[in-house]
Structure 1
């Protein structure tokens, strides 16, 4: 009985090591844009389910791989240790070889390329070009001699590529074109994805500063970075209200406003704190804001189609 119990615990621990390595709380930043882009397309065409699934899997794999590259390169640069907050910890806490983490990231990229080939052959070869650029951004976000994450452009690049670009790809592979509405709807989600990165940089501000990073949070200082986070949240909600007022999109889009308590919780969770562990709930609330906001937008759009 004890042997069986120990084996079960080992399997459970092993599974959790690899699952945590993907940083699952960040994966909704890939899921939400694919869902939203596909839902927007449903008003113009019948959804091609295999394409939707392929796009979703490819996006999740690229995001997970990007997180693994982050884990690997931050370890190599001496930024992560056993006490680091917000990391998978596979290398510094669980003894996984750095090369294994790196190779797993490239394996995920490889599978994503195969899915991308299917998507491109089914829709347009331009998708292969755009997808490759997205993968390069994912790798160089923390890889290479001058990682994007170490500059003031981390939030902008992640928000643009994971928000605007993924939503437009998801829309295009279903319809064969891009619309002004698909672009306009992608903006608030892109902002919220950037907020996830900003909240991460607010949490890690002190450590990042010591390592020589020049993130927006460091350049602005903690108080102003928190204020910027609050402003970006407000812009996201004002944006969808403006869409309802100035376009012919369904008022049901406003159901996304139900998520408003979550960003308030996030901002309050950062105010007056400097310990990374204390700020983790605020960062989680920021990620949940993107998830709930994007999901409710999708629901609102779908309801609007049928009412």
Structure 2
């Protein structure tokens, strides 16, 4: 096996950005916990939701790598994790093809979820794929216009958690419903989604905080570029505060004190927040990006276990 082959496999792994995958897995984990607590857990829809979420996450990562390169947002001055298109490790056309193939695979998985959840899943699935492309591609890439935080909050938080609960609950109703069956969109799912959405968005905040200077020079006006270092840090801390307040709603609504288990991840969250508030260089913020992802993963597992108990 040659070094070239190893290098190429590593390049594709870098393009998939495994450090971002907690943002795809965590909403499904929380959605499974909520479904179990409400007595509507269904293994096969949950598994399909997980695979679909990961495929959309990876497809969005390919899209981001490709469009940032061709739009000139990725340059040699950019700090942080290597982008394979900009660096020339993989041809742009190959990355674009991989993006479309990955989204196609997500659609194939989605066919089963459409059978379970009906028209609602068609709308949500197509919107998720379109948003993954439009984040950095298309005539109005909203990641370049300060809307990336909203995108992550909605699609990797609210929609992902609620959608996971929905397909499990819908499995107990007649197949191919034209509208969500009664009881398939519980309030608890929406509230739980806010915690995941906040920490998922915090991951993006760290990424954009690190890239403020290079993004500004290349015309990529993320929210961090628009509001600056201080307010980006305020946003980061506020997102964490809201996430850790979410379990209180579950205690107040009879789910039991076990739903406070996510608080066990607070020391990690506080440690990362200190780093984010004190530093703006890649040497500190790249590890903070990874550790925010770890915070999300730990928070989500603890949340799922706590609410299920």
Matched, 1:122 2:122: no
Query: Is residue 145 of structure 1 aligned with residue 152 of structure 2?
Result: no
Question: How far apart are residue 156 of structure 1 and its match?
Answer: 1.5
Tell me, in whole angstroms, the C-alpha distance in 2 between the residues paired with 1:122 and 1:108. 22
Deviation readout 1:88-111 (Å, 9 max, x if unpaired): 532233531101001101000001
Tell which deviates more after alignment, 93-102 or 57-66. 93-102
Superimposed CA distance per residue, residues 154-213 of structure 1 (whole angstroms, 9 cap, x where no aligned partner)? 111211111111111111111121101111111111111111111111111111111223
> In 1, distance between residues paired with 2:42 and 2:276?
42
Relative to structure 1, is the Cα distance of residues 44 and 241 closer, same or farther in structure 2, using a 3 angstrom cutoff? closer
Indicate conservation of the 8 Å contact 1:158/1:193, yes or no.
yes
User: CA–CA distance in 1 between the matches of 2:230 and 2:156?
Assistant: 27
Aligned to 1:52: 46
Q: Over the residues paired in the alignment, what is the CA RMSD in angstroms?
A: 1.7
Distance, in Å, in 1 between the alignment partners of 2:303 and 2:248 is 12
Larger RCO (CA under 8 A, 6+ residues apart): 2
Structure 1 residue 290 corresponds to structure 2 residue 284: no
Runs of 4+ displaced beyond 6 Å: none
Contact residue 82 and residue 89 of structure 1 kept, 8 A: no
- After superposition, give the CA deviation of every residue in 1:95-153 in whole Å (9 maximum; x if it has no partner): 31101001101000001111111111133232111110111111100111221111222
How far did residue 274 of structure 1 move? 3.0
Query: Size of the alignment, in residue pairs?
Result: 296
Query: Are the equivalent residues in 1 in contact too, given 2:77–2:214 (CA < 8 A)?
Result: no
Aligned to 1:280: 286
Correspondence for 2:198:
191
In the alignment, structure 1 residue 29 sits paired with structure 2 residue 23: yes
The aligned residue for residue 221 of structure 1 is: 228
| Structure 2 unaligned blocks of 5 or more | 171-183
8 A contact 1:191–1:232 mirrored in 2? yes
Q: Structure 1 length as normaliser, TM-score?
A: 0.91
Q: CA deviation at 1:237?
A: 0.8
**TM-score normalized by the length of structure 2:** 0.90
